[in-house]
Amino acid sequence: MCGRFAFYFDDFSDVRRFFHVDVATEIPQSHYNLAPGQAIPAIVSDGEKNRFGTLHWGLQPAAWCGQGPKPINTRVETLRTNIVLRQLAERKRVMIPASGFYEWDRQKQPYYFSLKDQPWFALAGIYDVWRTENGQTVRTCSILTTKANAVVSDIHTRMPVILQERHVPEYLSRQEIPLAKLKSMLKPFRESDMRRHKVSPKVGNFRYNCVECVEPVE
């Protein structure tokens, strides 16, 4: 699964260029310990422009009418059997910018995973936006997960889907993409391009939000 991640930067204009953001409805701050239930950075397309904003992490599709679970992760395999989640994947896709993500081993030791040669990467997600009967707007998302690659697998059996650069434009498009085609984009990322290191157990507390979260420890 993916239950914590970091997204930090020195200059947001660099982020805009890197992810080809045309419109930013919110200017974020660096965050080293993003957790479920929080508003997390998100990039969606309106069909013409890529828009940067936030979505709450924990999916509440309109079809569920605010009932049931609020999954922070959605297994790629589940898209085949759950029609609501499949339809969101085919029609409402979101790109979640990240610097790295955390995972814990069986001894509760946290690790930080990132890319070797890039400051950021795009996590694949699905989202929905709808209004309740009293007019409240519900804006939520879930991060897609796949089986872990060799860098992650001895720590956890799952990992978030990291989009390959060549897949980003199509994934972010508003075009409906059949699941059979979409699945080719939702595979484990190349382990040769990833790295990991141990970090402080303090990251288990979501209130611990500082650069020390991502720094290596012995």
CATH code at position 39: 3.90.1680.10
Bridge pairing between strands 194-198 and 158-160: unpaired
Number of domains in the chain: 1
Note the pLDDT tens digit of each residue in 29-67.
999 999 999 999 999 999 899 999 999 999 999 998 777
Which stretches of 70-211 are DSSP H helices?
Answer: 83-91, 168-172, 179-182
What is the DSSP track for 98-117? Answer: ESEEEEE-TT--EEEEEESS
Note the pLDDT tens digit of each residue in 141-162.
999 999 999 999 999 999 999 9
pLDDT value of residue 67: 79
pLDDT value of residue 207: 96
Residues annotated as catalytic are 2, 103
User: Global pTM?
Assistant: 0.96
Q: Which domain holds residue 130?
A: 5-214
